[in-house]
Amino acid sequence: MADVKICPSCKTKKWNEAPKVFVCNKCGKLHLLRKNSRNSKCSVCDPYCKAEQAQCHLCGEIWESSSKKGKRSCPKCGAGIVGNDDVNSMDIWSEGRFTLRYVSEEDFGFVYLIESHVPAATMYFHQICKMYNISAEQFVAAVNNRKMDKEWKALSKKMYDGRNNYLRNVSYFEKRLGLESWDAEILALHFTGMGPDAIAVRYGVSYDEIRTAFDRIMNAYTDSGIVVDDTVFTENPFDFY
């Protein structure tokens, strides 16, 4: 289930669009990526910086991938859609075995809580901005100046404490769509914002296994007659569907 892409009021397609980011190779600061390009000018040390390394947005592994022909899957955890122009990520806070990682993918933004290289939970980026009443620019500034580290620590605890709340919706999907418990659990976790590659790493199974489960889930939607339309705004999709 995709998050809302179109504003329910003005219908613009730019509503909730996630900021793409890049990290300066020289000073290490985070910046908003402008004009949908991997090249941008650093406002701190002023060189034109190009992302010449790919970093897995799940386990954090870094490898050389300076062209579109570079390796697209993580050599460590096997996440299937990393190191390309549509996915970028940045750690915003880390302590002990926990890391909060911002991930931008296909115009959506997410913040993952990573526990020892495994995705424990995720939240949509716009939900976090709303929670702290900040803009994308203020979010980036807070990552760079470290002034919200206390808030990020509290957020990580909140996400960790609620990491298994998605299980409450498993029975709903079993009954509503006629899914087997495994597929219903995958869908319930996906409703939190977690992508198929992250779900695969979390459960320790192959990416292909999760994609096959999504095929069964979409077939179940088709058989049920439910129309999945992400242009329809609803605060509670469980009520809507």
If you average pLDDT over residues 23-41, what whole number do you get? 57
Residue 231: the pLDDT is: 46
Residue 193 corresponds to which tokens in the numbers above?
């914002």
Instruction: Check residues 180 and 10 and name the one with the higher pLDDT.
Output: 180
Predicted structure pTM score:
0.70
pLDDT at 3: 46
Instruction: Tell me: pLDDT of 161 over 60.
Output: yes
Q: What is the tens place of the pLDDT at every residue in 46-101?
A: 554 444 455 666 666 665 554 444 445 676 766 654 444 455 677 889 999 999 98
* DSSP secondary structure string for all residues of 169-217: GHHHHHHHH---HHHHHHHHHHTTT--HHHHHHHHT--HHHHHHHHHHH
Q: How far apart are the first and last CA of the chain?
A: 11
Higher pLDDT, 20 or 99: 99
Question: Can you give the pLDDT at residue 122?
Answer: 94
Question: Can you give the pLDDT at residue 66?
Answer: 42
Residue 97 has a pLDDT of 93
Specify the 3-state DSSP secondary structure of 124.
Answer: strand
Confidence of residue 37 (pLDDT cuts 50, 70, 90): very low
pLDDT tens digits for 186-241? 999 999 989 888 899 899 998 889 999 999 998 998 887 765 554 444 455 555 44
> Do 54 and 65 contact (CB within 8 A), yes or no?
yes
User: Do the beta carbons of residue 130 and residue 3 sit within 8 Å?
Assistant: no
Give residue for tokens 């779900």.
199
Residue bearing the bigger pLDDT, 108 or 204: 204
Residues 6+ apart with CB under 8 A from 57: 79, 82, 87, 88, 89, 101, 103, 105, 112
Alpha-carbon span 124 to 3, nearest angstrom: 8
Q: What is the mean pLDDT of the chain?
A: 75
What pLDDT is recorded for position 158? 96
Mean pLDDT for the stretch of residues 169-180: 92
